[in-house]
């Protein structure tokens, strides 16, 4: 139960990080055709921009980690017992992520897209490594069997 309480508190921390990112982000409207506004924004408000970005990324990482962990545990354990509680906490983290998307749609889409691309690259690397290991095991197994039993054939 302490683990689940920790995850509820992590969800609350992610919520606070998202609210802090919204409040710290400068509210001055920036138009793409006014270069002077962009230069002034980058010169005089970089700390607010960096802090808002850090809080946004921290909140997104917390929510993504909670969704990933609880979804994996719910799938592994099934719908009964602790698996049901993991599914509820996964829905809770997903709901917080949805609220974050409603409040900050463009940064959430950019961050989510980058996270999905990173996960796809990692999955592809693991698949390639697994394929290479399987091929290596097959080649060494054939060599070992032919030297261990020279007169016998395997069916």
Mean pLDDT of 31-53: 79
Within this chain, do residues 116 and 99 fall inside the same structural domain, yes or no? no
Residue 53 lies in a domain: yes
Residues 84 and 112 in one domain: no
Q: Is residue 62 located within the same domain as residue 114? A: no
Q: What pLDDT digit, counting tens, does each position of 91-125 carry?
A: 988 898 898 888 888 888 888 899 899 989 999 99
Q: Residue holding tokens 């609880």?
A: 70
Same domain, 118 and 76: no
Q: Do both 137 and 67 map to the same domain?
A: no
Q: Identify whether residues 121 and 51 lie together within a single domain.
A: no
- Other residues' Cβ atoms within 10 Å of the Cβ of residue 7: 21
pTM here? 0.69
Same domain, 117 and 139: yes
- Asked if 52 and 69 sit in the same domain, the reply is yes
Range of the domain at 124: 106-148
Q: Which of 88, 103, 118 is the last residue of a domain?
A: 103
pLDDT-derived band at 129 (thresholds 50, 70, 90) equals very high
| pLDDT computed for residue 74 by the predictor | 87
Phi then psi for 151, rounded to 5 degrees?
Answer: -95, -15
């Amino acid at each position: 139960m302490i683990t689940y309480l920790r995850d509820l508190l992590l969800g609350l921390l992610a919520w606070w990080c998202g609210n802090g990112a919204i409040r710290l982000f400068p509210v001055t409207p920036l138009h793409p055709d006014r270069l002077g506004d962009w230069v002034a924004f980058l010169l005089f408000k970089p700390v607010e921009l960096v802090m808002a970005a850090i809080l946004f990324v921290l909140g997104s990482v917390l929510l993504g980690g909670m969704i990933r962990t609880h979804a994996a545990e719910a799938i592994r354990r099934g719908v009964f017992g602790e698996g049901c509680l993991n599914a509820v906490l996964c829905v809770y983290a997903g709901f917080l992520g949805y609220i974050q998307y409603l409040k900050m749609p463009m940064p959430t889409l950019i961050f989510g897209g980058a996270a999905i691309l990173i996960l796809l690259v990692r999955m592809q690397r693991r698949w390639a490594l697994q394929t290479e290991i399987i091929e290596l095991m097959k080649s060494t197994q054939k060599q070992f069997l032919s030297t261990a039993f020279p007169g016998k054939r395997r069916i």
